[in-house]
Amino acid sequence: MAKRNLVQALNLALRQEMERDDRVIVLGEDVGRDGGVFRVTEGLIERFGEERVVDTPLAESAIVGASIGMAVAGLRPVCEIQFDGFTYYAMHQIESHAARLRWRSQGRHEVPLVVRAPYGGGVRALEHHSESREALWAHLPGLKTVIPSGPRNARALLVSAIRDPDPVMFFEPKALYRAFREEVPEAEETLPLGRSRVAREGTDLTLVAYGAMLRPTLEAAEELKRSRGAEAEVIDLLTISPLDDTLLVASARKTGRVAVVHEAPRSFGPGAEIVARLVEKAFYHLEAPVARVTGYDVIIPLFSRERYYLPDVPRIVQAAQRLLEAP
């Protein structure tokens, strides 16, 4: 097995799916000759040619809208939006068509489309390049929103997303692109969409995270173990929506104390749904209010102050401590 970073793992998924299925085509701004601004599509144009790896004009609505057409006509487009901050340009296409065409045609047409976009902070980027707005997409019926947390699951989830008959928003934690490597086998791996995983087992409290927040959350769990001998269970959502709450609920019933961690602003953010699900399904097991350790309800600042905005190990540990100390 080869060690790969997130970029390489995603590249592997794209390459192998393109080899396996000539309906898969990749399109977007700078995805061809440039290999993508983060190099996720590097080498694909050399291997698959300009017909399958398409550098498009600068127009996000067209990239997504045309991809919808391709998907309806039998292809499996994987389109890249350069940053999640530019996905809004295509929101009408996604809300009104990608997520609805199956429904609008009573099952006659389907839209096996993947929209990839890097999301989140932590790379000292320009304005509009560090947002975390997955909640917007998570609320839309008919759409899947997937966020991997490391190279291996990213590769497996991207393969599943490409094969999925329904549209998937696939947000890649850009802070992790080159942050670390994992064994990612050459041999095919998939992971079912719509399933969370237990990233760390524990009995004293539950920490829920996803994407780039998983690592500080796991570190916080270790810190809690060191500092107070508390064993945190960590749930990695992987799919934000449709949210599978089975593991969450089971864990909350076991520990009674839960914190959810995300970069997105707190209000009306993904954490709210998790709190609501736990209230609906594990209320009588909760021993303390579910805590939200999140971005604040502000625009993520330019990079010199970015670290104050992003949840980090100390903030997670503080919240966990309060949870553990709750009566």
Partner 1 sequence: MPRANIELPEAIAYLSILDEQGRLDRELEPRIDEGLLLRLYRTMLLARRFDERLLSLQRQGRIGTFPPSSGQEAAHLGAVAVLEPDDWMVPAFRELAAELWRGRTLESVLLYNAGFNEGARIPPERNDLPISIPVGSQILHAVGIAWALRYRKTDRVAMVFFGDGATSQGDFHEGLNFAGVFSLPVVFVCQNNQWAISHPRSRQTRSRTLAQKALAYGIRGIQVDGNDLLAVYAAAGEAVARARAGEGATLIECVTYRLSVHTTADDPRRYRTDEEVEAWRRRDPLTRFQNYLAERGILSEEKIRGSEEEVGREIQQAVERAEEEMKRLADPLALFDHLWAEMPASLREQREEFIAAMSAPPREDRHG
Ligand X SMILES: Cc1ncc(C[n+]2csc(CCOP(=O)(O)OP(=O)(O)O)c2C)c(N)n1
| Shortest CB 1 distance to partner 1, Å | 30
| Shortest CB 216 distance to partner 1, Å | 10
187 binding partner 1? (CB under 8 A): no
| Shortest CB 128 distance to a copy of itself, Å | 6
| Cα(235)–Cα(248) distance, integer angstroms | 7
| Cα(80)–Cα(136) distance, integer angstroms | 18
Per CB under 8 A, the list member of 198, 275, 313, 326 interacting with partner 1 is: 313
Which letter, b or e, does each residue of 212-241 get, where b requires 16 or more Cβ atoms within 10 Å of its Cβ? Answer: bbbbbbbebbebbeeeeebebbbbbbbbbb
Contact between 205 and 232 (Cβ < 8 Å)? yes
Per CB under 8 A, the list member of 270, 310, 311, 320 interacting with a copy of itself is: 270
| Shortest CB 304 distance to a copy of itself, Å | 14
Compare residues 83 and 177 and give the one whose CB is closer to a copy of itself.
83
| Cα(320)–Cα(327) distance, integer angstroms | 13
Query: Using CB under 8 A as the criterion, what x/- string covers residues 119-158 for binding a copy of itself?
Result: --------xx----x-xx-xx-xx----------------
80 binding partner 1? (CB under 8 A): no
Q: Is 42 left (phi over 0), alpha (psi -120 to 50) or beta?
A: beta
242 binding a copy of itself? (CB under 8 A): yes
CA distances from 255 to 248, 252, 270, 272 (A): 10, 5, 21, 19
Instruction: Give residue 49's identity as a one-letter amino acid code.
Output: G
Burial class (CB in 10 A: 0-12, 13-18, 19+), 107: exposed
| Cα(103)–Cα(287) distance, integer angstroms | 42
Place of tokens 């998937």: 168
Number of residues that bind partner 1 (CB under 8 A): 84
301 binding partner 1? (CB under 8 A): yes
Compare residues 63 and 136 and give the one whose CB is closer to a copy of itself.
136
Catalytic residue among 97, 109, 129, 139: 129
| Shortest CB 185 distance to partner 1, Å | 27
Compare residues 60 and 233 and give the one whose CB is closer to ligand X.
60
Among positions 101-130, residues that touch partner 1 (CB under 8 A) are 101-110, 124-129
Per CB under 8 A, the list member of 105, 227, 246, 267 interacting with a copy of itself is: 267
Residue 139 among the catalytic residues: no
Residue 306 binds which entry of partner 1, ligand X, a copy of itself, none, with Cβ cut-offs from 5 to 8 Å by kind?
partner 1
68 binding partner 1? (CB under 8 A): yes
100 binding a copy of itself? (CB under 8 A): yes
Contacts to ligand X by CB under 6 A: 29, 58, 60, 82, 86, 89
Burial class (CB in 10 A: 0-12, 13-18, 19+), 304: exposed
Place of tokens 């992790």: 176
Compare residues 47 and 92 and give the one whose CB is closer to partner 1.
92
Contact between 323 and 258 (Cβ < 8 Å)? yes
242 binding partner 1? (CB under 8 A): yes
- Identify each DSSP E strand in the chain by its residue range: 2-4, 24-28, 53-55, 76-80, 114-119, 144-146, 168-173, 182-184, 197-200, 205-209, 232-236, 239-241, 258-265, 291-295
Please give the positions annotated as active site. Answer: 129
